[in-house]
Structure 1
Amino acid sequence: MAKPSTLVYLSSSMHRDGSTDLTRLTDGTATYSDTKLWVTALTLALATRWEGTSAHAVDPGWVPTRMGGPAATDDLTAGHRTQTWLATGTGVTPHTGGYWYHQHTEDPHPAARDPRFQERLLRALRDLTGVALD
């Protein structure tokens, strides 16, 4: 498969409570927060490894969807606007490797930017799926 020019992954502010224990990938103990940390780290790994591909992670906020529920306090429209804006690439700075909330970058969990954790994650995903992300 050819590498795409743009990747926009859905994350969550809950990624900050995620674990770097990658045994959780296969032992059935992964939490929502873990998976969102891992997808954020995967995004930022691809942003630095895949030249010519713009990769970003988005926190849409706690929005009133079936998952978020009716008590959610965030703006559903603002969440998808950020995703659309990133997908079109119009005026996005940084061009790649951002963690976004309502069209503003935020600092993700430190492990998400840690090259050693990214490498461990990519290795674990390769071992699990048989697919290496060069």
Structure 2
Amino acid sequence: MARVFVTGSSSGLGLMAGELLVEQGHRVVLHARNPARADETRRALPQAEAVVVGDLASVAGARGVADEANKLGRFDAIIHNAGVGYREARINTADGLPHVFAVNVLAPYVLTALIERPDRLVYLSSGMHRGANARLDDLTWTKRAWNGAQAYAESKFLDVLIAFAVARRWPDALSNALEPGWVATRMGGPSAPDDLDQAHRTQVWLAVSDEPEARVTGKYFRYKRQRAPDPHTDSIELQDRLIAECARLSGVALPD
């Protein structure tokens, strides 16, 4: 039995992952953005051990989530599921950062750095990351006109960089990224064509399975199969530059 923390799990794929973990006999801690959503989450999955409350849109909020998670004790795995979608207008957070970047990239970085290191880390990306590359010179979108779809695609590219950087820096942990498919969640929209029943299974498998195929690190998956990510995500230079930029913007260093 494993103990797993799932961020962004008040609804959608995060809640589905929590439900599957409970069904498999694992202990689950969920996460909601605010107290009202936390109450809804507790009602949706009363078997959850706890619900951590905190808004990941700010560095202070992410720090708070990390603090609350650490008070609950060490996790065997963390699924970094929280995210916002590709249809967002330009919204700046309290830290002056684009909301998409703050939630999709900086928050999982801060949580990775501050929550006691688990045995496994799982990061949700998207097929849209391919071809997005990394504008590390303009993570905050101050040099470009806003494009929500491009900002989302770039954030999912950066999530793969984080997963691979962590895999390289923390050889005692398994760190992987995956794409759940374009499915009919609140984020994906009602016309999404992929199989919703499969969308949450790979992250759970990577978090808890003892199958040799799941016990790897620095890999990218879709539907429990390794899949080639955008080739630029293998760049150690890009990985290290992103980690340095996240440390600068958040004031949080990634431990060795």
Q: Indicate the residue corresponding to 1:34 in structure 2.
A: 154
Q: Indicate the residue corresponding to 1:107 in structure 2.
A: 228
Q: Is it true that 1:24 corresponds to 2:145 in the alignment?
A: no
Q: State the structure with bigger RCO (CA 8 A, min sep 6), 1 or 2.
A: 1
Equivalent residue letter for 1:73: P
RMSD: 1.6
Q: Indicate the residue corresponding to 1:51 in structure 2.
A: 171
Q: Deviations over 1:96-121 (max 9, x none)?
A: 11111000011111121110110111
Q: Deviations over 1:63-105 (max 9, x none)?
A: 0111111211111121211111001032143511111100001
The structure that has the greater radius of gyration is 2
Kindly indicate whether the alpha-carbon contact (under 8 Å) linking 1:9 and 1:57 is maintained by their aligned counterparts in 2: yes
Q: Is it true that 1:87 corresponds to 2:201 in the alignment?
A: no
Secondary structure of the residue aligned to 1:26 is: coil
Runs of 4+ with >6 A deviation = none
Please, which runs of 5 or more residues in structure 2 have no aligned partner?
1-114
Kindly indicate whether the alpha-carbon contact (under 8 Å) linking 2:133 and 2:232 is maintained by their aligned counterparts in 1: no
**Counterpart pick for 1:77 among 169, 173, 197:** 197
Secondary structure of the residue aligned to 1:17 is: coil
What's the TM-score, normalizing by structure 1?
0.92
Question: Between the two proteins, what is the percent identity of the paired residues?
Answer: 41
Q: Indicate the residue corresponding to 1:119 in structure 2.
A: 240
Aligned partners of 1:122 and 1:16: how far apart in 2? 20
Kindly indicate whether the alpha-carbon contact (under 8 Å) linking 1:86 and 1:92 is maintained by their aligned counterparts in 2: no
Secondary structure of the residue aligned to 1:124 is: helix
Q: Deviations over 1:39-68 (max 9, x none)?
A: 111101101110211111110001011111
